Structure 1
Amino acid sequence: MTTEKRPQILVTGAAGTLAQQVINQLRDTCDLVAVDFREQVWLGDDIPSYCIDFNKRVFEDLFRRFHFDGVIHLGRIMSSQETRLSRYNANVLGTQKLLDLSHKYNVQRVIILSTFHVYGAVPYNPAMIDEAAPLKAAGLTMDLVDSVELENLANIYLWRYPHLNITILRPCNIVGPGVRNAMSTLLSSERAPVLAGFSPMMQFIHIDDMADALVLAYRRNHKGIYNVAPSDWVAYQKALDLCGCKRVPILSIPPIVPRTLLRLLNLRRFPPYLMDFFKYPVIIDGRAFAREFGFQPKRSLDEIFHYYLENKHPV
């Protein structure tokens, strides 16, 4: 009697909480290899873990050794991390190397985590943004150029190499325990800035639900580009109230004013590249992903905000 071969999957960004949740969901049914270019993490004796720069020759050795069936690429550096050049090298050139190796070694499934930030925040965005909308972020701020180029690159490989079965996910704000992005930092603060006169509608997805979405995306082979977001949203200032944050109004113009005031008040800061996302709503339409993959978030907004209400971090 022969047993069915377990899929061999490479998971990048292994030092992140989201990647570790995905790994925990897959470890009973798949053979996993974890990689991160920032640090090596221990995930148990059953999961080899490496700290490797994707652009180094040693990265290809992993593909030769393990014969990956699939890749789940979560190792994108956020725009608030590192320098612009190092982000470009990691996010764009590193992803290109990953996709080239996936093609060379006959990988059959690739999942790439992107972000809704690629749409850009502008006052004339449609009420619901679907996957066909143009990616305006690169024209608005240099700090999101690498995110848009990563997507454009993945899109080229999606059509050039159909056997890779590439699925690109654009989630809304990912929040919850262990998340260290800008939005989670603001929601967990005792005092949080708001731009005077602005309170855009926002969407939030719990990290548990995002991990579920990634696992679903891997297991159900529907290649293409998909937004990932719940069907409800809330105004930013209302979200702060529900999280128990004291709102501190800040003037939004000229651009130097909010940055200077936040520094003087010793407040959590808006990342400059995200400033417009705290002015204008960017509501993405997640119905295509829900329909194709049978996805339904389990964590409500009330549950998300209650976590931050109970877990405040002083400035």
Structure 2
Amino acid sequence: MTQHRRPHILVTGAAGALAQKVITQLRDHCDLVAVDFREQVYLGDDIPSYCIDFNKRVFEDLFRRYEFDGVIHLGRIMSSQLTRMRRYNANVLGTQKLLDLSLKYGIKRIVVLSTYHVYGAVAYNPALIDESAPLKSAGLSSDLIDSVELENLANIYLWRYPELNISILRPCNIVGPGVRNAMSTLLASERAPVLAGFSPMMQFIHIDDMADAIVLAYKKPVRGVFNVAPQDWVAYQHALKLCHCKSLPIPSVPPILPSMILRTLKLRSFPSYLMAFFKYPVVIDGRAFASEFGFKPKRQLKDIFRFYMDNKKPV
């Protein structure tokens, strides 16, 4: 009789706050291995942690040594990090290597973290964007190309290799303690830029709720692409007000002007590649994920904004 074996799971992006929340939820009943190619993080004596480039041969050694059952791929590098080429190598080539090794070593479950940015922000987006909508970002911004390519790659493996049981999650703005993305930095600022005349509707999900969503997705092997977002939204400028953050209006025309002003003011938290997202609403429909996985966010918008009201510097 074979002894019962705990699931062995590889978690990428281990240096990020979201991965660490996921690890905290899973560590009591799974054997985890944490990987990040930016830095090695200590997560306790029970969790081996590595700083490894996915494209190096030593990465494959982990698959041999630990015999993973599943992979939670949270290691997507944001467009504000690294140079474009290094980001492409990490996001696209690194993900391809990860998926190839998963196929080679018989992985039975993969969750891939994407982003709602892949839809692109355009004036004629529908009021609620579902998972069948085209990914327009690649044609709008070269800085988002690798996010779309990572998704397209995961999609190819999703349909070509059903045995991998791949779920791709497209969350709205992930915010909360420890999050270091552009939106979190803006909400935590004393003053945040806004494009004059624009205040698009936005969605926010607390990092703890997003960690819950990832764990739920991993435990129920349903293949497919899923938006992850609450069924409420708020105008960007109103969100700033609720966070006790003063608006700093920036003229939006001609298109080169806001980028020049932001560069002059050294406002890196308002990157030019995301400019359209502060002009046009990108509201995604999260009902398919909520229905399939029984997901309901526990933290309301007022709780999310209270954190930023009380912590006026990025955490």
- TM-score under structure 1 length normalisation: 0.98
Counterpart position of 1:310: 310
Q: 2-side partners of 1:152 and 1:262: how far apart?
A: 32
Residue 136 in structure 1 maps to residue 155 in structure 2: no
Q: Deviations over 1:147-177 (max 9, x none)?
A: 1111110000001111100000000000000
The residue correspondences of 1:270-285 to structure 2 (distance < 5 A) are 270-285=270-285
Counterpart position of 2:65: 65
Q: Is the 8 A contact 1:243 1:305 kept in 2?
A: yes
Shift in Å at residue 267 of structure 1? 4.1
Residue 105 in structure 1 maps to residue 105 in structure 2: yes
Q: 2-side partners of 1:268 and 1:147: how far apart?
A: 20
The residue correspondences of 1:1-16 to structure 2 (distance < 5 A) are 4-16=4-16
Q: 2-side partners of 1:269 and 1:31: how far apart?
A: 37
Q: 2-side partners of 1:102 and 1:263: how far apart?
A: 42
Residue 196 in structure 1 maps to residue 192 in structure 2: no
Extract unaligned runs of 5+ from structure 1.
Answer: none
Q: 2-side partners of 1:152 and 1:264: how far apart?
A: 36
Counterpart position of 2:251: 251
Q: 1-side partners of 2:128 and 2:293: how far apart?
A: 20
Secondary structure of 2:122's match? coil
Secondary structure of 1:221's match? coil
Residue 228 in structure 1 maps to residue 228 in structure 2: yes
Q: 2-side partners of 1:45 and 1:250: how far apart?
A: 49
The residue correspondences of 1:231-242 to structure 2 (distance < 5 A) are 231-242=231-242
The residue correspondences of 1:1-315 to structure 2 (distance < 5 A) are 4-267=4-267, 269-313=269-313
Q: Is the 8 A contact 1:193 1:268 kept in 2?
A: no
Secondary structure of 1:9's match? strand
Shift in Å at residue 201 of structure 1? 0.1
Secondary structure of 2:129's match? coil
Letter in 2 for 1:33: V
Letter in 2 for 1:197: G
Shift in Å at residue 259 of structure 1? 2.4
Shift in Å at residue 254 of structure 1? 2.0
Secondary structure of 2:65's match? helix
Shift in Å at residue 2 of structure 1? 6.6
Shift in Å at residue 240 of structure 1? 0.2
Q: Deviations over 1:62-99 (max 9, x none)?
A: 00100000000000000111111111110000000000
Shift in Å at residue 3 of structure 1? 5.1
Shift in Å at residue 266 of structure 1? 4.8
Shift in Å at residue 261 of structure 1? 2.1
Secondary structure of 1:95's match? helix
Q: Deviations over 1:214-271 (max 9, x none)?
A: 0000001111000000000000000000000011110012233212323444545411
- TM-score under structure 2 length normalisation: 0.98
Q: 2-side partners of 1:253 and 1:214: how far apart?
A: 40
Assess, with a 3 A threshold, how the Cα gap between structure 1 residues 56 and 266 changes in structure 2: closer, same or farther: closer
Q: Which runs of 4+ in 1 moved over 6 A?
A: none
Letter in 1 for 2:307: Y
Q: Is the 8 A contact 1:195 1:278 kept in 2?
A: yes
Q: 2-side partners of 1:266 and 1:152: how far apart?
A: 34
Q: Is the 8 A contact 1:173 1:204 kept in 2?
A: yes
